[in-house]
Chain A
Amino acid sequence: MGTVLGTGLQMVKDLLPEQVGTNKRWTDAVVQAVIACADRAVRERVGVHFHTQTITLANDTATYDLDPEFVSIDTVEFALDGSTYDWKLEAKSLKDMSERMPLWRQSRGTRPDLYALLSAPGTQGQTSPAITPAQIVIYPCIATVTAETILVTGEAVIGNTTDLATATVGTDILKKCHIPYILSVLYAVESPERAAAEFQNFIAGCQTVKSRFGAQGETPSRAVRRC
């Protein structure tokens, strides 16, 4: 096992001798940025890296922002006391909510039963200037909260550079998945044919690794729904 950035960079240097480093064709920083892109592509495709987000509910509020790490949402759990998650919300659409309760936006309860999503999970947002991220909508929302929280779990990529700097991955996964992706970018101008072949190697590598994890047990069901 090695770090994604450190071991990945060394592998690229070994494969492209004298081409990566200071005053060379590719700087370490550029190759590491490509490794970061590769890591996202691998985690999105293989789907075995998970992220959780705890959201503290607010009075009369149905819509909450989701973290950009998410690729998909698997489960949403509810805790009345903020820590004991003993209630699972069902993934639905806004249309389902309307069918169940036409004026669902105005109804209130003590425990949310359903959730829907707005925008693809992982869509980035920011406060100023306002860019709206992916959001979760719960039904019913709670009129007066005390300590209620929901816990959102889903497949994810690594979202920040600090975590990426220390992230580790199996060496053979780096070889099968990350390295072909990186070479498919770095060889794109010099040899588009080689680059295309490496991209196919990346797809095949991810499929192999995904199969390896999938064979270990039950595949979790996943629902991604919005309106």
Chain B
Amino acid sequence: MLAVSTWQDVMDLFYAIVQDTEAAQSYFTTARLESWANQCLWEMAEHAQLIDKVIEWTATPGTAAYEINSAGHGSLAVLRVEVDDEQIQPTTVEQLWKGNRDWQQTTGLPRWYYRDRLDEFDTEGIVLRLWPAPDAANDIRAVVAAVPDAVDNDAMGNVVHLPLWAIPGLLRGMLATAYSSETRRQNHGTAAHFRAMYYDVIDRMKGRSAGKLKAQLIYGNGPTGKRGPDWLGLLPPDGIPYP
């Protein structure tokens, strides 16, 4: 429990703080904890985009569309796509229509990818299309902002897929959900407090994972007591484009 590193550590500490045990599960079942933890992990990832995953596959000649989640990754955003080790650029259907009215029939070495006007609401994750559609078995590599690997009650010894310093934040998020749920331990004041601590960690993660900064932008250690809370200094300015 002291290491606060694995899913077992987090669960043990959760039960200790709510004055319960994993054996008794008087108020909260382990299944519910697993669900809450994964919900928090998803929320942290959506806010802070802290996990990058590199997904590689081989293109099928003639096939332009690929669902990135088919590899089992919970993907949130495409950060970068490479074809045969060379970066290709994002575009839109509108741009492709402007450039070539036969664009849908064009095949060749992909130079662009687009994600608009694709029906991805019913899919598990991200669909992207390459243009031109590949005419060979090109090596494709995508870097995506992804959801951390889920915690699993059948693999309690697995590490939690977060920065070590942020794992207590996951615990706060679970506690906030636990104390706001309809149980005999419901306490909205406690839930609000833990939620504030949880969002504080998410705010700091936003700064710590600001890896998508432009190259020339360097930010320092933040204020030294002359300005407001230092987490403000960690956040990148608005308008910084993705790579």
Contacts and interface: CB of A to CB of B under 8 A. Distances in A.
Interface string A9-40: 00000000000000001110110111011001
Interface string A37-75: 100110111010000000000000000000011111000
A93 B51 contact: no
Interface residues of A, number: 78
Contact of B5 (A32, A124, A185, A210): A124
Nearest to A68: B164
- Secondary structure class of chain B's binding surface, majority of residues: mixed
B193 A37 contact: no
A214 interface: yes
Interface in A191-227: 192-193, 195-196, 199, 203, 206-208, 210-211, 214-215, 219-227
Contact of B13 (A30, A71, A93, A131): A30
A210 B230 contact: yes
B168 interface: yes
Interface residues of B, number: 71
B163 A120 contact: yes
Contacts of A171: none
A29 B220 CA distance: 37
Interface string A79-104: 00000000000011111101000110
A106 B160 CA distance: 34
Contact of B213 (A32, A71, A188, A225): A225
A227 B3 contact: no
A126 B193 CA distance: 33
Contacts of A45: 204, 230
Contacts of A140: none
Contacts of A120: 48, 50-51, 163, 205, 208-209, 211
Tell me which of B158, B164, B187 has the highest count of chain A C-beta atoms within 10 A of its own C-beta. B164
A36 to B, nearest CB: 5
A193 B189 contact: yes
Contacts of A102: 86-87
B52 A118 contact: yes
A6 interface: no
B163 A215 contact: no
Interface of A: 25-27, 29-30, 32-34, 36-37, 40-41, 43-45, 47, 68-72, 91-96, 98, 102-103, 105-106, 116-126, 129, 131-132, 134, 157, 159-161, 164, 184-185, 188-189, 192-193, 195-196, 199, 203, 206-208, 210-211, 214-215, 219-227
